């Protein structure tokens, strides 16, 4: 009979399982929204599901590029190890590691890292919008139980036409076309 973790250790194990399921499920849902020709520059923000997104996207790129932005050094090392040997994939742990002179991304996706707090998620959305090409697409994925509606509303403060394109139980995906973004000013919904 397997040993059962109780108390704090049990709660942490359960939280880790839920977080892993969250990332894996949303990575699979994102796969259905990514229409790739193989030449796109793709930026994925967020560590939940980063390795899964990397595997799904990198294999479809021929001359394109995938940049994954994770949040901690451990996630950086784990994601790099998981994606070792796969084409043009770059893993970074800070959006500021991107060169300002690089061209914008054709696709920016974000699985909301709810575990880091609302302000961090909103900052990631803003950073992704700032890196999106005018004809690109921004894809936001999340969970209604973890404030997805609030994040979609924050994205709506930057765009004319945010569309919820997938709903599967509690999981949601919303998209916005780059030409519908209002790029001046910040995002609403941040705490002061």
Nearby residues of 40 by Cβ (< 8 Å), 6 or more positions away:
61, 64, 105, 106, 107
Residue 3 lies in a domain: no
- Span 63-105, pLDDT tens digits: 889 999 998 888 899 899 989 888 789 999 888 888 888 899 9
The neighbouring-strand residues paired with 137 are: 107, 177
pLDDT band at 188 (very low <50, low <70, confident <90, very high): very low
Take residue 173 and report the two structure tokens written for it.
């995906």
Reply yes or no on whether the pLDDT at 109 is more than 90: yes
Distance of CA 31 to the CA centre of its chain: 12
CATH code of the domain in which 99 resides: 3.40.50.150
Domain that holds residue 67: 10-180
pLDDT of residue 190: 44
Take residue 83 and report the two structure tokens written for it.
């994606």
- Span 4-51, pLDDT tens digits: 666 666 666 667 787 778 888 888 888 888 888 889 999 999 878 888
Residue 189 lies in a domain: no
Residue 1 lies in a domain: no
Q: How many domains does the chain have?
A: 1
pLDDT of residue 157: 85
């Amino acid at each position: 009979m397997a040993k059962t973790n109780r108390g704090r250790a049990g709660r942490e194990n359960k939280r880790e399982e839920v977080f892993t399921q969250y990332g894996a499920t949303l990575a699979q849902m994102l796969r259905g929204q990514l229409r790739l020709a193989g030449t796109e520059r793709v930026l994925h923000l967020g560590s939940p599901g980063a390795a899964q997104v990397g595997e799904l996207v990198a294999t479809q790129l021929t001359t394109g590029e995938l940049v994954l932005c994770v949040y901690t050094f451990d996630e950086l090392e784990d994601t790099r190890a998981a994606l070792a040997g796969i084409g043009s994939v770059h893993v970074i742990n800070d959006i500021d590691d991107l060169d300002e002179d690089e061209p914008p991304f054709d696709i920016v996706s974000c699985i909301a890292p709810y575990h880091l707090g609302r302000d961090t998620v909103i900052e990631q959305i803003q950073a992704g919008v700032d890196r999106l090409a005018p004809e690109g697409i921004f894809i936001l994925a999340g969970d209604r139980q973890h404030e997805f509606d609030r994040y979609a509303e924050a994205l709506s403060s930057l765009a004319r036409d945010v569309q919820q394109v997938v709903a599967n139980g509690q999981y949601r995906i919303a998209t916005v076309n780059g030409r519908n973004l209002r790029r001046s000013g910040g995002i609403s919904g941040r705490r002061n």
